[in-house]
């Protein structure tokens, strides 16, 4: 286990020196901070505007960081040949790959925490102003605090899954192709309900459509389940059972993805 | 398998069988190890072809060859970074790529690359930790190595600010971090100034004296000649020459007589019986086809007042052997072996 954490630690420290990723983080925090100003464009729904922009930014920029970080983690080691001195030590390919992924998770988590903290600051400033105008919504706002934390937690697991897909894609394809693949996977993964509908025989799906669309529905990750912004905006409570089920699905999918990555990387020449 | 057994007999080592077998006393052994990347326009394979070699523990083994001859491919195969297309190999009795033997080896790649954001101490801490090293033992080892490679005063400089020579020195330190029994060194003296080259040569001989096995890839033949116990010359992926340095440099059945204080008359006399005579550094060097001719010539020379500086088997330089081996159009001039 020790080599995994050593590789992860080195990856974490090295990732913070990537200016492009730092640029995305700074831009994300600026957007989240400016949601406070954007909120005035929609009088009466300022708090909803802050939540929508804030959580949406965390998801979007978290996804961007996951894709651009994940697709560079292993290829950079191969191109710069730093991998040679590491794999010549008693470090297995599985330990190396998982260490790189774990280092990416640490980097991503730190980025997400910073974005989440920026969002909470804006929300904490805006919420009392909203309550002063609508004191009857105190219960809804109170539920929002915990729901926002849950939403950010789900986003963590969503971007960790995207990171895993990006890392594995980069072991299979060139950098450009792996970036495109991960983006397509992400966006198509948001359409999994659509594939389910297209495979529904009650909606007139043919046999072939049932098989093909049904398979796509089962194979693709269901990214939309990580998005609970609507529930937050409606003020409805998101139970922990739903949270655990969603996280469980994400982790199970991630394990399969990393296993595929290991099988591919184990045969890859460096 | 036959090759393995014959080597056991030749070396007098023990063959152990417990379902598998390995040979004690051999650091590296390959049998028809091949890595074919592609084929050229003439349909000839490009890569490494049928390499069979044996490296005994405690040897300095030189893998020599021009660029593209398959030296780095051989190293990568032995380290498990790439996989053979045919043949097999073992390091310390373990199959290629096994983590077990990696505990006992060190590796210095050519033009080594490291994490740029680390300084010398952090870099060695990272590599040491991959061996499970830590605490005061690792700190002491790092200090020892940094002093050994002349980097102690520069230990807090980040790798990104290193010169090529400094990278090479820290590369040697990381290769030695685990006190390995076997060292793979790819172009060890690359990027080093003359003092650095001498330092590294001393280091190599010190390591050999400590019983380490050294597997050195190089195209700097003058550096390798006095250091290596045994060499293989590769050309276009094929083994051209193999043997001890002495075996390769000796010219079969020829004897060399080196004289000083010689005269033109003596030179004319000796030239009649010698295969060839030449003058170098004011010395007369004559080569004879057999020992009796050389002894007769030596007697004549002494009687003529010349001083015998050397009398023995004729030797070539490794450079001459190398050029002869790789100079032809064919990948290897096997006929001259």
**Domains assigned to chain B:** 2-247 (3.40.50.300), 251-318 (3.30.70.980)
Predicted confidence at residue B330, as pLDDT, reads 60
Structure tokens at B144: 């020892």
Q: Please, where are the H alpha helices in chain A?
A: 2-15, 19-38, 46-79, 82-87, 93-133, 138-172, 175-189, 192-198, 207-219, 229-234, 240-266
DSSP reduced 3-state for B186: strand
pLDDT at A221 over 90: no
pLDDT at B24 over 70: no
**Cα separation of the two ends of chain B:** 25
Predicted confidence at residue B302, as pLDDT, reads 93
| For helices B291-303 and B264-273, angle between their N-to-C axes, nearest 10 degrees | 160
Task: Provide, as residue numbers in chain A, all residues whose Cβ is less than 8 Å from the Cβ of B80.
Answer: 87
Choose among B82, B100, B174: nearest Cβ to A85.
B174
DSSP reduced 3-state for A200: coil
- pLDDT average, residue stretch B123-143: 95
SS3 sequence, B84-105? CCEEEEEECCEECCCHHHHCCE
CA–CA separation, B12 vs A261, rounded Å?
45
Any idea which of A115-124, A234-243, B47-56, B86-95 has the lowest mean pLDDT?
A234-243
Predicted confidence at residue B1, as pLDDT, reads 41
Report the sign of the C-alpha dihedral through residues A44, A46, A47, A53, in that order. positive
pLDDT at B82 over 80: yes
CA–CA separation, A247 vs A13, rounded Å?
27
ipTM here: 0.85
Report the sign of the C-alpha dihedral through residues A83, A86, A92, A97, in that order. negative
The domain tally of chain A equals: 1
In this prediction, residue A219 has a pLDDT band, given cuts at 50, 70 and 90, of confident
State pLDDT tens for residues B179-224: 999 999 998 887 778 888 888 888 888 888 888 999 999 877 777 8
pLDDT at B23 over 70: no
* Average pLDDT in chain B: 86
Q: Which of A30-44, A123-137, A150-164, B182-196 has the highest mean pLDDT?
A: A150-164
Asked if A89 lies within 8 A of B102 by C-beta distance, the reply is yes
pLDDT at B11 over 50: no
pLDDT at B334 over 70: no
In this prediction, residue B13 has a pLDDT band, given cuts at 50, 70 and 90, of very low
Residue B126 near residue B72 (C-beta atoms within 8 A): no
Residue-number span of the structural domain to which A158 is assigned: 2-266
Predicted confidence at residue B331, as pLDDT, reads 61
State pLDDT tens for residues B155-187: 999 999 999 889 999 999 999 999 999 999 998
Task: Provide, as residue numbers in chain B, all residues whose Cβ is less than 8 Å from the Cβ of A88.
Answer: 79, 81, 102, 105, 107, 184
- pLDDT average, residue stretch A260-268: 94
Task: Provide, as residue numbers in chain A, all residues whose Cβ is less than 8 Å from the Cβ of B82.
Answer: 269-270
Choose among B131, B174, B184: nearest Cβ to A90.
B131
Assess A10–B contact: CB distance below 8 Å, yes or no: yes
State pLDDT tens for residues A32-45: 988 878 777 777 77
In this prediction, residue A234 has a pLDDT band, given cuts at 50, 70 and 90, of confident
State pLDDT tens for residues A4-51: 999 999 999 999 888 889 999 999 999 998 887 877 777 777 888 888
Asked if A6 lies within 8 A of B126 by C-beta distance, the reply is yes
- Best mutation target among A5, A85, A93, A265 (most B Cβ atoms within 10 Å) is A85
- State pTM to two decimals: 0.83
Q: In sequence order, what are the residues at sequence separation of 6 or more whose Cβ sits closer than 8 angstroms to the Cβ of residue B41?
A: none
- In angstroms, the separation between the Cα of residue A61 and the nearest Cα of chain B is 25
* Average pLDDT in chain A: 90
User: How many CB atoms are closer than 10 A to CB B108?
Assistant: 26
**Distances from the Cα of A73 to the Cα of A161, B22, B127, B184, B292, angstroms:** 15, 38, 19, 27, 70
Query: Considering just the CA atoms, what is the radius of gyration of chain A in Å?
Result: 21
């Amino acid at each position: 286990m020790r080599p995994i954490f050593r590789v992860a630690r080195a990856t974490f420290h090295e990732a913070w020196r990537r200016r492009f990723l730092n640029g995305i983080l700074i831009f994300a925090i600026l957007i989240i901070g400016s949601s406070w100003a954007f909120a005035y464009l929609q009088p009466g729904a300022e708090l909803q505007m802050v939540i929508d922009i804030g959580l949406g930014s965390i998801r979007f920029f978290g996804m961007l960081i996951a894709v651009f970080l994940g697709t560079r983690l292993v290829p950079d080691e191969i191109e710069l040949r730093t991998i040679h001195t590491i794999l010549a030590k008693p470090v297995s390919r599985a330990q190396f790959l998982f260490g790189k992924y774990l280092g990416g998770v640490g980097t991503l988590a730190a980025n997400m925490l910073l974005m989440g903290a920026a969002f909470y600051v804006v929300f904490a400033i805006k919420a009392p102003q909203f309550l002063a105008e609508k004191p009857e919504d105190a219960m809804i706002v109170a539920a929002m605090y915990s729901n926002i934390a849950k939403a950010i937690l789900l986003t963590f697991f969503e971007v960790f899954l995207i990171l895993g897909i990006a890392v594995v894609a980069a072991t299979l394809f060139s950098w450009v192709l792996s970036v495109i693949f991960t983006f397509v996977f992400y966006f198509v993964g948001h359409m999994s309900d659509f594939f389910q509908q297209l495979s529904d025989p009650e909606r007139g799906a043919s046999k072939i459509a049932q098989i093909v669309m049904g398979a796509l529905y089962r194979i693709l990750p269901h990214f939309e389940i990580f998005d609970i912004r609507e529930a937050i905006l409606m003020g409805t409570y998101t139970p922990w059972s739903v949270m655990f089920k969603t996280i469980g699905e994400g982790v199970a999918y991630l394990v399969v993805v990393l296993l595929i990555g290991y099988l591919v990387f184990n045969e890859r020449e460096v | 398998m036959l090759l393995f057994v014959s080597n056991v007999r030749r070396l007098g080592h023990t063959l152990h069988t417990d379902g598998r077998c390995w040979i004690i006393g051999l650091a590296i052994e390959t049998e028809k190890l091949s890595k074919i990347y592609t084929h050229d326009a003439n349909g000839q394979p490009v890569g490494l072809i049928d390499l069979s070699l044996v490296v005994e523990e405690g040897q300095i083994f030189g893998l020599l060859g021009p660029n593209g001859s398959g030296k780095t491919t051989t190293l990568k195969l032995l380290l498990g970074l790439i996989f053979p297309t045919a043949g097999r190999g073992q390091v310390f009795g373990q199959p290629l790529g096994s983590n077990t033997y990696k505990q006992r080896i060190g590796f210095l790649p050519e033009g080594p690359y490291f994490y740029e954001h680390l300084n010398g101490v952090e870099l060695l801490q990272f590599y040491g930790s991959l061996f499970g090293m830590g605490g005061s033992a690792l700190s002491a080892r790092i200090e020892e190595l940094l002093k050994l490679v002349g980097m102690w005063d520069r230990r807090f400089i980040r790798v990104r600010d290193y010169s090529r020579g400094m990278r090479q020195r820290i590369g040697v330190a990381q290769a030695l971090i685990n006190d390995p029994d076997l060292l793979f060194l790819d172009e060890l003296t690359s990027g080093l100034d003359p003092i650095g080259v001498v330092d590294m040569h001393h280091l190599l001989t010190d390591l050999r004296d400590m019983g380490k096995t050294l597997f050195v890839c190089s195209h700097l033949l003058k550096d390798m000649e006095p250091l290596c116990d045994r060499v293989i010359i590769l050309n276009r992926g094929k083994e051209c020459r193999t043997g001890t340095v002495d075996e390769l440099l000796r010219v079969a059945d020829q004897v060399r007589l080196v004289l000083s204080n010689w005269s033109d008359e003596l030179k004319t006399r000796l030239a009649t019986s010698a295969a060839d005579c030449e003058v170098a550094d004011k010395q007369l060097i004559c080569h004879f086809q057999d020992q009796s001719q050389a002894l007769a010539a030596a007697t004549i020379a002494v009687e003529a007042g010349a001083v015998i500086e050397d009398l023995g088997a004729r030797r070539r330089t490794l450079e001459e052997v190398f050029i002869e081996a790789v100079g032809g159009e064919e990948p290897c001039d096997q006929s001259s072996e």
